[in-house]
Amino acid sequence: MKKDIQSRADIDDLMNRFYARAMSDDVIGYIFTDTAKLDLETHLPVIGDFWETLILGANNYQKRGRNPMQIHAALNLKTPLRAEHFGRWLEIFWKTVDESFVGERAEFAKTRAEAIANRMLNFVSGVLAIQIRQAR
Ligand code: HEM
């Protein structure tokens, strides 16, 4: 029977499965593998802290002093991140949550992911528009 997300181990498991899927995906895989050349060994502990902070209130991502909006804005300069990329990212995230977890935290994770994806798309598009204006 499925259970809710309860521990860091659950989050690590979720992330392992999410990245396996995202990195081999036809729509967004190249952004991780070719554009960012993502090193999973470095990235997984960071992303684990991010979700542990959001879902379990761990407060350990803040200590890293990083800004996901700016990180994705920088990525957007290397390759455009568009609505269809965020849509696909979210589809994979939801599917990965649903296949193993059920409950309040699982629902919360999906809702937060959607809200952040929307803000991120808005943020990176805004940054892009500013740059186009400045280049004129
Ligand atoms: C189009 C959709 C997305 C793509 C292609 C994408 C891709 C990436 C890549 C390649 C990195 C590594 C960047 C680097 O280290 O240089 C990254 C980092 C990260 N992403 Fe995304 N991402 C997407 C959406 C999201 C969303 C919606 C969230 C949150 C709900 C998110 C959360 C994060 C976080 C927390 C990091 C780590 C930042 C850090 O290193 O502190 N991403 N993403």
Question: Which of 3, 10, 13 lies closest to 101 in space, CA to CA?
Answer: 3
Q: Which two tokens stand for residue 132?
A: 């186009």
Residue 85 known to bind ligand: no
Least confident of 4-8, 87-91, 109-113, 126-130: 126-130
Would 92 be classed as within a structural domain? yes
Helix then strand then coil, % of the chain, to nearest 5: 75, 0, 20
Asked if residue 43 belongs to a known ligand binding site, the reply is yes
Number of domains, the chain: 1
Distance 4 CA to ligand 1 centre (A): 24
Q: Are the C-beta atoms of residues 61 and 55 closer than 8 Å to each other?
A: no
50 lies in some domain:
yes
Atom of ligand 1 nearest to the CA of 51: 35
Domain assignment present for 100:
yes
Task: Say yes or no to pLDDT of 133 above 70.
Answer: no
Q: What is the per-residue pLDDT for 42?
A: 96
Residue 130 included in any domain: yes
- Confidence at 125, pLDDT banded by 50, 70, 90: confident
Residue nearest to atom 32 of ligand 1 (CA): 68
Q: What is the CATH number of the domain that holds 61?
A: 1.10.490.10
- The dihedral built from the CA positions of residue 104, 108, 9 and 2, taken in this order, carries a sign that is positive
Residue 2 lies in a domain: no
> Domain range spanning residue 129?
8-135
**Contact, 68 vs 118, CB < 8 A?**
no
Please give the Cα distance from 49 to 51 (Å, whole number): 6
Longest dimension (CA), the chain: 58
pTM (predicted TM-score): 0.94
The set of protein residues with a Cβ atom below 6 angstroms from ligand 1 is 28, 31-32, 36, 38, 46-47, 50, 66, 68, 71-72, 75, 81, 85-86, 89, 113, 116-117, 120
In ligand 1, the atom with minimum distance to the C-alpha of 22 is 5
Q: Using one digit for the tens of pLDDT, what is the confidence trace for 61-112?
A: 988 889 999 999 999 989 999 999 999 999 999 999 999 999 999 999 999 9
**Three-class DSSP category at 135:** helix
Q: Where are the alpha helices (DSSP H) in 1-103?
A: 8-23, 29-30, 40-56, 68-78, 83-100
pLDDT in tens, 9-67: 999 999 999 999 999 999 999 999 999 999 999 999 999 999 999 999 999 998 888 99
In a domain, 1, yes or no: no
Amino acid 46 reads: V
